[in-house]
Amino acid sequence: MKTRYILLFIVGLISCTDSFGQTDKFTVYGAGRFVLQNNSRSGQLFEQSIVGNDTIPADTVSTRREIGGVALFDLGFRIKPNSSTEINALTRVSGDLDGFWGAGIGFTFRELYVRGIVRNKVRYRVGDLDLKMTPFTVYNSDPDLGVHRMSSLRLFQDILEYENFNRDNMWRQQGAQVDFKFSVGKKGDRIDVMSYITKNRQTDYFFVPDRLMTGGQVAWNREGFGRVFYQTNNFFEIAETAQFADGTSATSVHSVGAEIAPFENKSLVLYGEVGTSYQGYEDLDNAPEREMNGFVDLGIRVPSKNNKFGFYGELLYVSSAFRSPGAQSRRVNYNSTPENLSFQTNQETARPLTAFDLIQDASVYNNTIAVNLQNFNPAFSNVLPFGKATPNRQGLLVGTVREADSLFVSKVGVDLGLLTEVSGQGISDYRNFTMVDVNVELALNQLWGGKSETNIEAHLHMEQTARDGLISDSPAVEGIGALDLSSNYFEAGISREISPGLALHIAAIGLTANGNEFIALRDVYGQVNDFTESIYDFSDMSYMFGMKYSFSPQSHLQIQYRTSDITDDLAPTTAYQWNQFIFTYNMFF
Amino acid sequence: MKNVFILLLALVIAFLGCRKDEVEGPELQDIFGDFEVFEGLSSDRQTVNFENGEFVRFSAKLSIRTDWVITVEGMDSGAKYEIEGRERDIEADVATWAGNITYAPLFGTEDCKTYMTFANYPDTLYGDTIVVETIKPEALIDVLISDFTSAAGWGSFAEAPAANQQVTGSYFVQNPLNTTEFLEVVSPEGEGHWRMTYTNQNSIFICGANVLAAQSQQEEVSDYFVLGTTNPDNVYINMLIHGFGDGNTVMSIGMQEDDNLDGTYDRFTEGTYNTEISIDWVGWRVVSVPLSSFTLSTIGGFGNIDGTGNQDIDRVLSMEFLLLAVEGSTGFVGYGMDYCNFTRYSAWNP
């Protein structure tokens, strides 16, 4: 009954918007989604196998098929009680498809903040904040597999970023933020000031203290020339909030940087940032000494203009103990269990994440900043798993890009990374990293001048990691530490518009990884205290086709059938095939 | 533009110089390598005259870092000196013997065998036999707390089972005047020693002993231990502790301070500084602990409030030695204690 009243309340509010709704003082916004899925799996996993002299029993426990879905409706209210104040509240009503008669319906607040301006000078925001500074201070780096999704998968990406508040590389936090700007000098120079304080972690009242994050930026801007800035981001714990806390930790990052266009036509941009980090502990046993570490990032960029290629080149140095949680926290959580077909084997172990889980499943993503370096899977990302702030990296990043809607090659981008370590891990030799990322979109209809879009999209991301092993006369240790890991991820597809707004697509994605890697295990202070060697020889291929109808740029209906083959040559008995039919309707308003 | 490229070239060269030789984390060779002995255990001399200040230096080379123990054992006395380490290349800086002991009794002028064992591998490497021609000079102490040869200066106590529900069954404090012998242990020094044993039934606190400063055997008569310094970094408490190999015994040492200098210790208002020693060996072992590693009691009503807010080693009125059991353990626990003393500036090194 309660749920019914809530729904009536929401419907009432929506209907009100017709009469007094979309005014300057009251606006509604939100999203609606309906997803229906039919997931099934088959393959060797469910059959008895014989490996050598061992008989591997068939998986008789795990689910073969799951049918389900979700309907949800987000309704936000933007209220302006006066010209200098705005209140935003976003509510969500959601229910599983099998939640008959209202059972399983959830009602939550997804977003709540107030923002405004004081005396036309100081802007403020309290409640939910979206924070971003630079890739070395506060920045929600792109997830593993990147963000170059082809059109047949872009709807999933929009949903993921919406669900986890990851848009534009922002981190969603809760706290308060103020910013203001003022002019200085006679050349129109301007100083921008921004600061924030958020609560990063909630105490458990006994052993885990509250953790706060503070920071800000001061930037000097000169119109037509560029800007110089100082940034800081700090984490610290409040010992008094947990009566039995052993001690506290604190991390701070400071950086200065500049972005300068020396020529009037802005045909060249020089940019760079230099910074340090400190990590300290109080009253914690075996804590490492407070140590200063840092990074340097210097680059040059020629922007793409008038259908010409633009390019960039960048030198990167990040020391091995540089710690910047706001920039190094990862989006993908490899300790999570996927939402679909969650378990496998008779022991009901969590199904390892596949490429499609990362593309489609919002639940495998972190949604807050973690102070310690998180686990990552080298098969998915090994060159820069913590973004540009990945510790223990130095080298060169270069790339080129061109976007031209009216040309046959409507988009092309190539990025190359040549990096090495700053310190050896477990051995004095360094890992050498090579990363190649190619992204191409071809507008076939430009060949015959057709108006209906026919596009071929391809994305290739290759990573190679190599290191020489130990040189010794003794076979007991000769070659130890040698590694050679290569991973390749691709997306390729073709889409054809058959009537206005309606397009058909056929596509494939694949992730393969071969080789070995030594994964560093870290203690609670983030220091490497052990290694485990992992060997990879797997293939994760998916093929899909479907149709998508766009009611508007922000409202889509997509129907897709996909089949995925996941094979691991090192564990052939776990190979399985995952078939999915998915109906998705999504709208943002 | 030309200047920009020169600047970038200079930066590239500078970056290439930013390489550090340090290795992050433990060495892979130690984790993934096979155990192999490259060079066996050897010593730089076969005869030694400790009285003249001579040393014996050991060396060995292994393929990986692993926990090892080099033992020197007197073939007549049974005295033992142990060097523990985890190095791959074992050299004099980590493996030197100056004639001292780890386990009582003292070495005599005798032949000593040397061998090396490993915690994770069954191998034993035998080294040279070393002839001790003269023994090292006697190691001096500064304050003798008790050698337990008489009843003066110490007493025992225990909390009754009714008062402390963690204690059930009977307890036994075996002191020098008690003629009942539960376990045959020969005193390592003098004629007596202090011993506490108990058959533990999931208890933590078992029983304890008190030694009063005024009745201790220090030369200067005082209410307090006269340590000659107020800096706890510079004073060591040393003793011989007998372990029975049970692995569940813990000795707690408390230093009870008379913070208000009124001649008595009030456990509610004056501080007790504690340390704990896990006893996991068999035999009489030399143990030394700097007083700076003692920390204020955390048990309410038992010295957890320090009247001065500081560790005042010049106000220590009495010492408390407790027999504790590892939480959750059952069965025999116990230890022996002898020749308890303080030294200044360095640990006792008999």
Average pLDDT over residues A391-412: 89
More confident residue, A510 or B175: A510
Contact residues, chain B to chain A, C-beta under 8 Å: 1, 4, 8, 11-12, 15, 18-29, 31-36, 38, 63-64
**Model confidence, pTM:** 0.80
Residue B3 structure tokens = 């200047």
* DSSP H or E run through A157: helix A151-164
Contact B271, B295 (CB under 8 A): no
Contacts of A425 in chain B (CB under 8 A): 23-25
More confident residue, A348 or A87: A87
Instruction: State the Cα–Cα distance between residues B78 and B95, nearest whole angstrom.
Output: 20
Contact A169, A375 (CB under 8 A): no
On average, the pLDDT of chain A sits at: 90
Q: How far is CA A327 from the centre of its chain?
A: 11
Instruction: Say how many C-beta atoms besides its own lie within 10 A of residue B274's C-beta.
Output: 21
Q: pLDDT band for position A13 (50/70/90)?
A: very low
Q: Nearest to residue B8, comparing CAs of A473, A214, A10, A398?
A: A398
B14 Rama class: left (phi>0) / alpha (psi -120 to 50) / beta: alpha
Residue A466 structure tokens = 């190599």
- Any bridge partners for residue B333, and if so which? B198
Closest partner CB to A528 (pick from B25, B33, B63): B25
Q: What percent of chain A has pLDDT over 90?
A: 70
Torsions phi, psi for A527 (to 5 deg): -90, 140
- The domain segmentation of chain B, as residue ranges, is 28-134, 143-344
Q: What 3-state DSSP class applies to B294?
A: coil
Distances from the Cα of B237 to the Cα of B105, B145, B222, B253, B287, angstroms: 19, 9, 18, 10, 8
Cβ B35–A392 below 8 Å, yes or no? no
Query: According to the CATH classification, is domain B143-344 in 2.60.120.430?
Result: yes
Instruction: Say how many C-beta atoms besides its own lie within 10 A of residue B240's C-beta.
Output: 26
Residue found under tokens 């955390």: B298
pLDDT of A52: 81
Within 466-495 of A, beta carbons closer than 8 Å to B belong to 470, 474-477, 480-481
Residue B73 structure tokens = 């054992």
Q: Find the residue in B nearest to A520 (Cα).
A: B25
Q: Is A265 on the interface with B (CB under 8 A)?
A: no
Residue B8 CB partners (closer than 8 Å, separation 6+) = A298, A300, A313, A315
Contact A249, A221 (CB under 8 A): no
Q: pLDDT band for position A484 (50/70/90)?
A: very high
Peptide bond into B105 cis (omega under 30): yes
Contacts of B20 in chain A (CB under 8 A): 319-320, 422-423
Runs of H (alpha helix) within chain B: 2-16, 28-32
pLDDT of A420: 96
Contacts of A427 in chain B (CB under 8 A): 23, 27-29
Instruction: State the Cα–Cα distance between residues B224 and B220, nearest whole angstrom.
Output: 10
How many CB pairs below 8 Å do chains A and B form together?
Answer: 94
Q: pLDDT band for position A102 (50/70/90)?
A: low
Q: Nearest to residue A111, comparing CAs of A155, A77, A84?
A: A77
pLDDT of A14: 46
Strand B316-325: give its sheet, edge to edge: B154-157, B205-212, B316-325, B249-257, B272-279, B295-296
Cβ A529–B21 below 8 Å, yes or no? no
Contacts of A296 in chain B (CB under 8 A): 15
Q: Nearest to residue A257, comparing CAs of A222, A313, A223, A217?
A: A217
Torsions phi, psi for B222 (to 5 deg): -160, 160
Cβ A424–B4 below 8 Å, yes or no? no
pLDDT of B11: 56
Closest partner CB to B25 (pick from A296, A426, A430): A426
Among 2.60.420.10, 2.102.10.10, 2.60.40.10, 3.40.50.11810, name the CATH number for the domain at B28-134: 2.60.40.10
Lowest mean pLDDT among A168-177, A418-427, B309-318: B309-318
pLDDT of B246: 87
Contact B341, B143 (CB under 8 A): yes
pLDDT of A97: 81
Q: Find the residue in A nearest to B7 (Cα).
A: A298
Closest partner CB to A476 (pick from B11, B31, B34): B34
Q: Is A527 on the interface with B (CB under 8 A)?
A: yes
Q: Mean pLDDT, 10 residues at a time, over chain B (350 residues)?
A: 57 53 87 94 94 94 94 93 94 92 91 95 94 90 81 57 36 44 58 73 68 72 87 94 89 92 90 94 93 90 87 90 84 84 92
Within 404-423 of A, beta carbons closer than 8 Å to B belong to 422-423
Q: Is A547 on the interface with B (CB under 8 A)?
A: no
Distances from the Cα of B139 to the Cα of A45, A91, A204, A402, B106, angstroms: 71, 78, 53, 82, 11
Contacts of B8 in chain A (CB under 8 A): 298, 300, 313, 315
Torsions phi, psi for A3 (to 5 deg): -60, -40
Lowest mean pLDDT among A19-33, A72-86, A375-389, B224-238: A19-33
Distances from the Cα of B27 to the Cα of A383, A420, A424, A427, B61, angstroms: 22, 19, 10, 6, 16
pLDDT in tens, A448-481: 888 888 999 999 999 999 999 999 888 888 999 9
pLDDT in tens, A514-545: 999 999 999 988 889 999 999 999 999 999 99
Quote the DSSP letter at residue A331: S
Angle CA B287–B292–B293, to nearest 5 = 60
Torsions phi, psi for B286 (to 5 deg): -80, 125
Q: Is A425 on the interface with B (CB under 8 A)?
A: yes
Q: Find the residue in A nearest to B33 (Cα).
A: A477
Closest partner CB to B24 (pick from A423, A470, A476): A423
Instruction: State the Cα–Cα distance between residues B278 and B253, nearest whole angstrom.
Output: 11
Query: How far apart are the CA of A419 and the nearest CA of chain B, in angstroms?
Result: 11
Contacts of B38 in chain A (CB under 8 A): 474
Average pLDDT over residues A81-96: 92
Closest partner CB to B24 (pick from A268, A313, A425): A425
Q: pLDDT band for position A584 (50/70/90)?
A: very high
Residue found under tokens 């924030």: A196
pLDDT of B319: 87
